[in-house]
């Protein structure tokens, strides 16, 4: 028996669901999403201004955003259409943050009209924004400390190679410029590592940002009202991998807050987070059917899903666990490459994966696709993007995005009369 990961939906449930919705589709677990959002809120309840701004890019579906809104979350948007989507769901004003880069002026204009909190990525954004909109009283700036980001002497990431953020010197200059333009309250933001399951990540990042905030306050006199720790908290993709303890992470940030900000007289600073993967990743899966098998130099199982439905394995070599439904207790004695039908050899969900013997028609669940799953999809080879289905708390299901049709694929072309 190989290591197991449990699915949030059982075989009998899934058989019923697939009678209603043909595979492939992404399935989301409302109960798990709500429970996780409440746990995050509890971990940071010590901070009276705490707010999670869900990264819309991770799972841009209004039904999902509505669940998070009901749990007290805001949204972090990175584009014009994400702002439009969030407005349509009902988010408004400071429930929205706009964090973008290389930003077109029309995006800034909409963010301003919606009274979203603007998060400038670059010092030149100040002038770009000021040309198209009045400067609001609250502005956030994204910090890039450069160099390498270390935790316990392990290199977590390389901010000096990232395109995002202000340098320290630019922050001082930017804060002074913004104050001259009428800004009264500031936020500070940084994202320095992705998908880390280290409990230390947020406290170490928080200390770096808190110390930068104290220095900026001393250097410019600016009032820093919030610090956004952004995202980067990871999830256990591998079986047997322990999930992060969000309560311990919240307590770790609190210790650094008390150590750095409180003695500096900055105990009114609100903590924001901007989590996507942590909020949704484990609460979504891709459901697919085995439709082909091929035996040449290796054994292949072909699914009706492909990399257009889930890009992470193809572009990152990322591991996603796979369960053959109804065979959870069978021995994993067969080595397969699990593939899709794209004309690309990297269109593989798993390589040399030990699984139970798979027959044509078996349902496979690919785990942990709740964030950066459907949202990264594309239409290469004319593949049509799948449906999204919500498994509700009462066990019923709701189609929250229908599958694409050929008419959708051709909608931007003038093929008048071809599709009726």
Query: Which residues form the catalytic set?
Result: 343
- Spatial separation of the C-alpha atoms in residues 86 and 250, rounded to whole Å: 27
Omega before 77 cis (within 30°)? no
- Per DSSP bridges, beta strands 284-295 and 299-303 are antiparallel
- Per DSSP bridges, beta strands 149-151 and 154-157 are antiparallel
CB atoms under 10 Å from CB of 414, counted, come to 6
> Residues with Cβ < 8 Å from 329, sequence gap 6 or more?
1
CA dihedral 312, 380, 376, 339 (to 10 degrees): -30
* 44 and 250 Cβ atoms separated by less than 8 Å: yes
| Backbone phi and psi for residue 293, each to the nearest 5 degrees, phi listed first | -130, 150
Element housing 111 (H / E): helix 105-113
- Spatial separation of the C-alpha atoms in residues 65 and 90, rounded to whole Å: 9
- Spatial separation of the C-alpha atoms in residues 419 and 414, rounded to whole Å: 11
Tokens of 73: 């979350």
* 100 and 79 Cβ atoms separated by less than 8 Å: yes
């Amino acid at each position: 028996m190989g290591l197991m990961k449990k699915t949030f939906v059982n075989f009998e449930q899934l058989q019923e669901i697939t009678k209603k919705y043909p595979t492939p589709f992404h399935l989301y677990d409302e109960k798990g999403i709500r429970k996780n959002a409440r746990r995050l809120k509890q971990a940071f309840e010590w901070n009276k201004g705490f707010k999670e701004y869900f990264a819309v890019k991770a799972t841009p579906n209004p039904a999902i955003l509505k669940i998070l809104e009901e749990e007290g979350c805001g949204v972090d948007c990175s584009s014009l259409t994400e702002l439009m989507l969030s407005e349509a769901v009902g988010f408004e004003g400071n429930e929205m943050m706009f964090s973008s880069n290389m930003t077109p002026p029309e995006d800034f204009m909409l963010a301003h009209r919606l009274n979203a909190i603007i998060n400038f990525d670059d010092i030149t954004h100040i002038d770009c924004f000021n040309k198209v909109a009045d400067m609001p009283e609250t502005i956030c700036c994204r910090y890039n400390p450069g160099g390498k980001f270390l935790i316990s002497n392990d290199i977590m990431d390389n901010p000096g190679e990232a395109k995002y953020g202000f340098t320290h010197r630019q922050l001082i200059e930017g804060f002074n410029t913004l104050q001259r333009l009428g800004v009264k309250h500031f936020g500070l933001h940084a994202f320095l590592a992705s998908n880390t399951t280290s409990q230390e990540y947020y406290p170490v990042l928080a200390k770096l940002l808190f110390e930068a905030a104290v220095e900026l306050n001393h250097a410019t006199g600016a009032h820093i009202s919030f610090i956004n720790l952004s995202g980067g908290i990871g999830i256990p993709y591998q079986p047997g991998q322990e999930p992060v303890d969000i309560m311990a992470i919240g307590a770790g940030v609190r210790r650094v807050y008390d150590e750095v900000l409180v003695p500096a007289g900055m105990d009114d600073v609100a903590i924001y987070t901007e989590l996507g993967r942590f909020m949704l990743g484990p609460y979504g899966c891709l459901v697919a059917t085995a439709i082909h098998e091929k035996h040449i130099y290796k054994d292949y199982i072909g699914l009706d899903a492909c990399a257009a439905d889930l890009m992470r394995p193809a572009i990152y070599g990322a591991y996603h666990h796979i369960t053959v439904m109804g065979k959870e207790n069978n021995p994993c004695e067969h080595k397969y490459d699990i593939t899709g039908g794209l004309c690309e050899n990297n269109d593989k969900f798993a390589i040399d994966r030990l699984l139970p013997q798979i027959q044509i028609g078996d349902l496979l669940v690919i785990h942990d696709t709740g964030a950066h799953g459907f949202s990264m999809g594309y239409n290469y080879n004319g593949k049509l993007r799948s449906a999204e289905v919500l498994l509700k708390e009462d066990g019923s299901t709701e189609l929250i995005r229908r599958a694409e049709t050929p008419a959708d694929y051709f909608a931007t072309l003038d093929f008048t009369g071809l599709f009726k």
